[in-house]
Amino acid sequence: MKLEFDLENVTLTEFGVGRDDGGGQTFVVVPVDTDVQSTLREMVQATWEEMQRDGVPGQYEPSEKHGATEYLTLAIADEMASSFRVLHEAVNLDIESSALDDPSDVFCYFVRLTDKKSRRLTAVRRATQFKGVLKKRLIRFVSDSLKLIEDSVFKLDNDFDLLIDSANVHILRPSAFEFAGKLQQAILDAVPHNI
């Protein structure tokens, strides 16, 4: 399957986080520097390469049992993709540089890329590791000795859970798609079809 996006000609990279603070989910853009932008693009590239390794994608079915990592697709017009369609199509998302002040609220992070033809690609990752690292104490080498890192550290993952282009949601980790898309009810509804 083709991606409706040119990964070689990205003109704009915007990073953001999804938060759930009890009053509903909100999505805001967080400014990041060129190094982070470059890393995010590499993550998108790695995600797409991982999907390509899986070959021809299957169709996502809530009633099916999917692997932990399995390339699946779902039409963006599908009702189950509505949460992601809304995120992908939203414009002028609010910007909030202090969004990571309370990272325990962050349930996902995302990047929105724009290519030379003004097409958009949105990539989403569930924030397990991103958040989990905050609870740990990290160490790093300074000169030849290990030191504790005292700053707040946000660890990005190696790839994203799913990519969204203008036609499809490309899913790499179905469980993350179900979690972020709040599809638990759809899965329960689909159980009778599977029996």
Partner 1 sequence: MTSRPAGAHREGLKAARLLMVLSSTSPLFILWAIRGNTLIPDRWFIGFCVLMIVVPNAFLWLRIRMARTQADRRELTVGTADDHRDHILVYLFAMLLPFYSEDLGSWRDLGATVAALAFIVFLFWHLNLHYMNLVFAALGYRVFTVYPPTDSNPLTGKSRQALITRRVNLASGDKIVAYRLSDTVYLEAAP
What residue ranges bind partner 1 (CB under 8 A)?
11-14, 23-29, 31, 33-34, 37, 83, 86-87, 89-99, 114, 118
Residue whose CB is less far from partner 1, 51 or 180: 180
Task: Name residues whose C-beta falls within 8 Å of residue 123's C-beta, 6 or more positions apart in sequence.
Answer: 40, 43, 44, 47, 110, 111, 113, 160, 162, 163, 164
Name 145's bridge partners. 142
Contact between 73 and 59 (Cβ < 8 Å): yes
Closest to 6 (Cα-Cα) out of 129, 106, 118: 118
Residue whose CB is less far from partner 1, 19 or 173: 19
Give burial (CB, 10 Å; 0-12/13-18/19+) of 176. Answer: buried
For the bound state, the minimum distance from the C-beta of residue 118 to partner 1, rounded and expressed in Å, comes to 6
For the bound state, the minimum distance from the C-beta of residue 99 to partner 1, rounded and expressed in Å, comes to 8
Residue whose CB is less far from partner 1, 57 or 181: 181
Q: How many CA atoms lie within 13 A of 14 on its CB side?
A: 22
Q: Where do we find the tokens 């967080």?
A: 30
For the bound state, the minimum distance from the C-beta of residue 83 to partner 1, rounded and expressed in Å, comes to 6
Residue whose CB is less far from partner 1, 59 or 97: 97
Distance of alpha carbon 56 from its chain centroid, rounded?
A: 21
For the bound state, the minimum distance from the C-beta of residue 16 to partner 1, rounded and expressed in Å, comes to 10
For the bound state, the minimum distance from the C-beta of residue 112 to partner 1, rounded and expressed in Å, comes to 8
Residue whose CB is less far from partner 1, 7 or 133: 7
